Amino acid sequence: MIVSRHSRIDSVAHFLRWVVFVAVALLVNFPILSTVLTSFKTNADINAYPPKWIFSPTLEHYRAVLASPNVNYSHYIMNSIVIATLGTIFAIVLTLPAAYAMVRQGVGRTWLLPIITNLRALPLIIFAIPFYFMYKQVGLLDTRIGLALISCIINIPIALVMFVGFVQDVPRELDDAAKIDGASMWKTLWHVVLPLSRPVMLAVFLLSFIYSWNEFLFGLILTTKNAVPVTVGATFFVTSRGIEWGPTAAAMTIGILPPLILGLFAYPYIGKSMLAGAVKG
Amino acid sequence: MSYASFETKEQASARALLVPLCLFMGALLGFPTLINLWYSFSDVSFQNMIGSFVGIDNYVAAVTNPKMWQALRFSLQFAVICTTIEVGAALILVFILHPLLVKRPWMTAILMLPMMVSPALMGVMYRLILNEFTGAVPVYLEMMGYAVNFLGRGSIYKTVVAIEVLQWTPFAFLILLTARQTVSYELEEAAAVDGATGFRSTFHILLPMMKPALVIVIFVRFIDSFRVFDHIYVLTGGGPGNLTTSISIYIYKLFFVQNTLGEAVAVSILLLLMSLTLIVVAMRLVVRRS
């Protein structure tokens, strides 16, 4: 008797949880859903009243975007891919050895680690103006490498925190065994730590790639034509000659797709990396 | 003796591993900060990129400009409002949805999608769906008899807040959910055996255990909303007037629109000092708590 009443309350609660989930999922994802659907509609369907949710899809806007004479969107996509990849690799190369040295020898742990982890709390606009002038002087304005350096800076804190957490979990005995065999620190890092780091490396790569891809401020300030990333390039569809709905929606969809897909795999690491920073930083 | 020298050799090679990172950070963050400092005391311009010393003129211009205080106020208010709603909503949702999500990670993934999107592109997408004439949201509201111009002067503030909240509540939710899931089952079961159920166990056991995560979420969301730029820039450019000009947009406008470089840099330095103060205070609080 009591059991059945309990189970009925449970199943009602279960149902209500589902209702909340569906409502929240639709609410927060509505712009994504709506934009993706719009990108596959014909112009007639876009202007239909009331809005159509079922329609026969077309790829005309994607063709228009990628062949647009005014906006070189495929070039911007390539820019974003190169910038995010390079920036991510730079960040990994710089932080993994540093994390190893910090954890195993305690070098810089008390000052450098907190300084770098707190960097992500600074408003980036502070550095926008000096970067503009610096880049102008050395010819890095509007270059992919210039923006890759920025995305590296942006990703160093999170990469360092995640690698520090990883090295802490590597059993010290493995290092000591290598040391007894006469391996130097560099060799231990290369032959012992690096092979073990593949899972965390993947996590750092995913997060760093997503954050780099989504960067907007420096793309806006430091590029004009050659190195324009997708986030900035997509806004060109809006500002030039009013809004063309179909092509804009197609450009948006292309621009959000890579981080959305990577995010499906990366999201658990975001939670972990944030909480790890708190305990260890 | 030999052990000691071995140890120092280890230390030395460890330091060598740090050198690239330090050099990189010094060159790409230390150096620009120094440039900023010098510029803030000089009459730098696009024509004269070195400038000459003018004392504290730029700082005087910065703090006597009421628009800076307006922008600062916007950012602070925006950050407080957004953080409060996001963390509050996320906390409630964690307690509602946790039992549902615990064995279904793909459902969590669906809720995480918004925060993977670039805030700038999110802004553009909202611009599309909130458009007065063809946007999906106003069209439906009109069918229900409401006429709301989301991007008009009257509601733009609420709109930029709502967009920030809708995009980043999932982030707060994820961190709190992660914290909630690491609270061990043993502990919960122990609480159940002791007769603490429902709200009691929530408030006396779960919340205190989630407190570190809460502090982090509040800090990260506050900082992030305080420096907001992307979605507001593509949606309103800081307008109408200065209604939605955050401190980041204000500096951008001083520099790229009005070309008052010295003042822009002075505001940057002031912002840097404020942020550093905030970080130090926050760190102190966290350290004292734990």
Instruction: State the pLDDT confidence band at B146, using cuts at 50, 70 and 90.
Output: confident
Across the interface, whether the CB atoms of A28 and B21 are under 8 A apart is answered no
* Residue B13 CB neighbours (<10 A): 17
Query: Which domain range does residue B214 map to?
Result: 56-289
Nearest Cβ partner of A238 from B124, B139, B286? B124
Residues A162 and A109 in one domain: yes
CATH for B91: 1.10.3720.10
Residues A110 and A25 in one domain: no
Residue B42 scores a pLDDT above 50 = yes
Distances (CA, A) of A77 to A34, A149, A221, B84: 22, 18, 18, 36
Minimal CA separation from B142 to chain A, in Å: 10
* Token pair 């120092």: residue: B8
**pLDDT (tens digit per residue) in B67-76:** 999 999 999 9
Residues A211 and A243 in one domain: yes
For residue B120, give the nearest of A228, A143, A41 by alpha carbon.
Answer: A228
Residues A91 and A194 in one domain: yes
Asked if B275 reaches chain A (Cβ–Cβ under 8 Å), the answer is yes
Instruction: State the pLDDT confidence band at B248, using cuts at 50, 70 and 90.
Output: very high
Residues A74 and A51 in one domain: no
ipTM of the complex, rounded to two decimals: 0.90
Per-residue pLDDT, B195: 62
* Token pair 């948006």: residue: A252
In a domain, residue B7? The reply is no
Instruction: State the pLDDT confidence band at B191, using cuts at 50, 70 and 90.
Output: low
> At residue B53, what are phi and psi to the nearest 5 degrees?
-65, 130
Residues 144-173 in B contacting A (C-alpha not used; CB under 8 Å): 166-167, 169-171
Last residue of a domain, one of A41, A58, A75: A58
Per-residue pLDDT, B209: 82
Cβ-in-10-Å burial (0-12, 13-18, 19+) of B208 comes to: exposed
Residues A187 and A272 in one domain: yes
- Cβ neighbours of residue B103 closer than 8 Å, sequence gap 6 or more: none
Residues A26 and A117 in one domain: no
Asked if B59 reaches chain A (Cβ–Cβ under 8 Å), the answer is no
Tokens coding A3: 């059991």
Residue B171 scores a pLDDT above 60 = yes
**pLDDT (tens digit per residue) in B75-92:** 999 999 999 999 999 999
What secondary structure does DSSP assign to A33-54, as a single string?
Answer: HHHHHHHTS-HHHHT-SSPPSS
Residues 70-89 in B contacting A (C-alpha not used; CB under 8 Å): none
Determine the Cα–Cα distance for residues B36 and A62; give it in Å rounded to an integer: 43
| Longest alpha-carbon distance in chain B | 87
Across the interface, whether the CB atoms of B283 and A114 are under 8 A apart is answered yes
Q: Mean pLDDT over all residues of chain B?
A: 87
Percent of chain B with pLDDT over 70: 89
In a domain, residue B193? The reply is yes
In a domain, residue B24? The reply is no
Q: Taking the CA atoms of A87, A252, A263 and B223 in sequence, report the sign of the dihedral they define.
A: positive
Give B-chain residues touching A271 at CB under 8 angstroms: 174-175, 177-178
Distances (CA, A) of B51 to A237, A238, B54: 38, 37, 9
Query: Which domain range does residue A52 map to?
Result: 2-58
In a domain, residue B157? The reply is yes
In this structure, are residues B172 and B217 in contact, taking their beta carbons and an 8 Å threshold?
yes
**Which range among A183-197, A254-268, B197-211, B214-228 shows the weakest confidence by mean pLDDT?**
B197-211
Task: Specify which of A255-259, B50-54, B203-207 reaches the highest per-range mean pLDDT.
Answer: A255-259
Residue B1 scores a pLDDT above 50 = no
Per-residue pLDDT, B201: 67
Mean pLDDT computed over B92-102: 91
Nearest Cβ partner of A252 from B125, B229, B233? B125
Per-residue pLDDT, B190: 67
Determine the Cα–Cα distance for residues B216 and A270; give it in Å rounded to an integer: 13
In a domain, residue B194? The reply is yes
**What is the number of domains present in chain A?**
2
Nearest Cβ partner of A271 from B24, B174, B272? B174
Q: Return the C-alpha torsion angle B65, B66, B67, B69, nearest 10.
A: 110
For the entire predicted model, the pTM comes to 0.91
**What is the number of domains present in chain B?**
1
pLDDT, tens digit only, all 281 positions of chain A: 455 666 788 888 899 999 999 999 999 999 999 999 999 998 888 888 777 788 889 999 999 888 877 788 999 999 999 999 999 999 999 999 999 999 988 888 888 888 898 888 899 999 999 999 899 989 999 999 999 999 999 999 999 999 998 998 888 888 777 777 777 778 888 888 888 999 999 999 999 999 999 999 999 999 999 999 999 998 888 765 567 888 899 999 999 999 999 999 899 888 877 776 544 33
Query: Which residue of B98, B113, B137 to mutate against A (max A Cβ within 10 Å)?
Result: B113
Percent of chain B with pLDDT over 90: 49
Residues A184 and A273 in one domain: yes
Determine the Cα–Cα distance for residues B64 and B69; give it in Å rounded to an integer: 9
Residues A200 and A89 in one domain: yes
Residues A111 and A190 in one domain: yes
In a domain, residue B162? The reply is yes
Residues A27 and A72 in one domain: no
Per-residue pLDDT, B70: 96
Determine the Cα–Cα distance for residues B193 and B188; give it in Å rounded to an integer: 9
In a domain, residue B134? The reply is yes
Across the interface, whether the CB atoms of B39 and A129 are under 8 A apart is answered yes
In a domain, residue B73? The reply is yes
- Looking at residue A112, its amino acid is L
Per-residue pLDDT, B198: 64
**pLDDT (tens digit per residue) in B117-134:** 999 999 999 988 898 777
For residue A208, give the nearest of A270, A115, A131 by alpha carbon.
Answer: A270
- Cβ neighbours of residue A55 closer than 8 Å, sequence gap 6 or more: A40, A41, A42, A45
- B214 or A5, higher pLDDT: B214
Residues A173 and A231 in one domain: yes
Asked if A118 reaches chain B (Cβ–Cβ under 8 Å), the answer is yes
